[in-house]
Each structure stands twice: as C-alpha cells, then as structure tokens.
Copies of this chain bind each other. A is one copy, B any other.
C-alpha cells in the first residue's frame, strides 16, 4: 500500500514570478512527489503550493523548497497583508492515503530537523506536531511576526523546537506541522455590510463560542461590493460543511440577508463534499467507503 502525504507550504513571496516559478520547478522536478496546485496573491505577497508524495519524497521536496526560499526571499524587505514570520512561513503535512497522523507527525519532525541542519532556519512544530499546548495554534506561534521574532524567541516558553533562539537574519522562522485536511470555505452574502459578516462569523466560529472546529472572519470583497464570511473548516467530520452553511444562512436571515453563493478554495476531500450530499439528499444508511465507486479504484 503506497503511503501518500499531502503538503501545503506557504512562502512569503507573491509578486516575484521568477521566485514563484523557481519553487514550482523544484516540485515539478522532485522525485517521489507531484505538484497539484499553486497560487500567488500580490496583496498578501504570499504563495501557496499543494503537492502529494511519498513520505520520503515529500521530506526531500519540502527541505529543497525551504533552502531555495531562504536563498531568494529577504524578509527584511517583505511587506504584505497576511501575517508571516519566515521566507518559508509554514509547512503543514496532511495524511491522505495509507498514512496515520502519527506518521505525518514523523514526516514533519524530520523536515523540521533537516531544515535547521541544512538551512539554519529555526523551527516551531505546530498543530498535531506541537510539543506544547501553546504551540498548537499557528496564529499564536506566529504572533509578533517576522519583525517581533528576535524578541519573542528569547523567552523560554518560545524557544524553538529546532535551532537557535534567534531567527535566521533574512529567512526568519518557519512553522512545520501536521494536521487534518482543512477546507477553505467562504460564504458570500447579499449585503456589502461588513458588520453583518463579522457578526455572523462571530456566531459561527469556535473561538467565540460557535462550532469548535470553524475559524472565520468577515471580510469585504471590493470587486463584488459584497461582504463575505471567510472560513477554515479544520475538522469537517465534526463540523460538516452543510451545518456551517445552514447556520450562516439562519443567522443571515435575521438581517434579511441571503446566501448568494459560496466558494471552495483549493482542494477538498471527496468525503467532505459527499457528507453534505448525504445530508441534503437524506440518504439512509449511507456507507461512504462501500458505496462510492472511486473508493474501490484508489
């Protein structure tokens, strides 16, 4: 049984095509892994790559990417809307096929150790790979961003998991972790009122008492003069997509606002979508593993 791990590294480069294509080429030319998708955002000045590979192939590719990023990206000259602390900002691994979470954590630790040894960028392990509770949440790890890391890392509680207690001078610090598949799901509203989107996000997200595994904020989309609830669903089995959407629809109705559409960003596992089909179609005794043809072909 071939093991496959997914990796979704984020880099602090979103405007320099040469560097972005250089990163893509590393994945195109790596043995034992396949580039599935990549995109760059100029206002965030950030790019995201999605690839899958064997554990060994993914480790080699992730280290090669981090090395290239450290050589090409200078964080002292970086600005952008998205929080960031390193040239290679974050490298999450997701077990996708014949892999346990423990095996994905091992992959993350191997990558973390090798990046410190070979690129001299200090590493925090996060999410499932975290070595302390306060390191689980990426936003907490990254707080202070690149500019604040030199001071933050001096604190004993923020000593990195691998490397010195000071950031790499130009490449900063990288978070490496393992996590469940995450679904980026946005709900578009029939209003341009950002306050309404924020109120709904607050009602729905776990951090303010809503659904535990939903992260979300209200944002204003200028191109469409529209407010949106922008979310990460970090556990689609406990908080399925349909429940998140219908909760938002119900909250929005209180303002006379409708859901005019939604956006699925990047990839989602078939099961996450099919569990919503199962709900709306009211299918009795549905068995995902047995009844979906493709599960027999993988």
Residues of A participating in the B interface, judged by any CB pair closer than 8 Å: 4, 6, 34, 36-37, 52, 96-97, 181, 188, 241-242, 245, 259-264, 266-270, 273-274, 276-278, 280-286, 290-294, 296-298
Q: Which residues on the B side are within 8 Å of A292 (C-beta)? A: 267-270, 273
Q: In whole angstroms, how far apart are the Cα atoms of A283 and B97 in the complex?
A: 26
Contact of A294 among B264, B281, B298 (CB under 8 A): B298
Q: In whole angstroms, how far apart are the Cα atoms of A262 and B261 in the complex?
A: 26
Which B residue's beta carbon lies closest to that of A266?
B291
Q: Which residues on the B side are within 8 Å of A262 (C-beta)? A: 281-284
Least distance between A264 CB and chain B CB atoms (Å): 5
CB-based contact B282/A34 at 8 Å: no
CB-based contact A273/B277 at 8 Å: yes
Q: State whether A264 and B242 are in contact (beta carbons under 8 Å apart), knowing that A4-B297, A52-B297, A277-B276 are contacts in the complex.
A: no
Q: In whole angstroms, how far apart are the Cα atoms of A276 and B188 in the complex?
A: 19
Q: Which 9 A-B pairs have CB atoms at the shortest separation, nearest pair first?
A: A280-B280, A277-B277, A273-B277, A261-B284, A276-B277, A267-B293, A273-B274, A270-B294, A269-B293
CB-based contact B264/A286 at 8 Å: yes
Which B residue's beta carbon lies closest to that of A278?
B273
Q: In whole angstroms, how far apart are the Cα atoms of A266 and B287 in the complex?
A: 10
Q: Which residues on the B side are within 8 Å of A278 (C-beta)? A: 273
Q: In whole angstroms, how far apart are the Cα atoms of A264 and B270 in the complex?
A: 17
The interface centre, meaning the residue of A4, A276, A281, A296 with most chain B CB atoms within 10 A of its CB, is A281
Q: In whole angstroms, how far apart are the Cα atoms of A240 and B269 in the complex?
A: 21
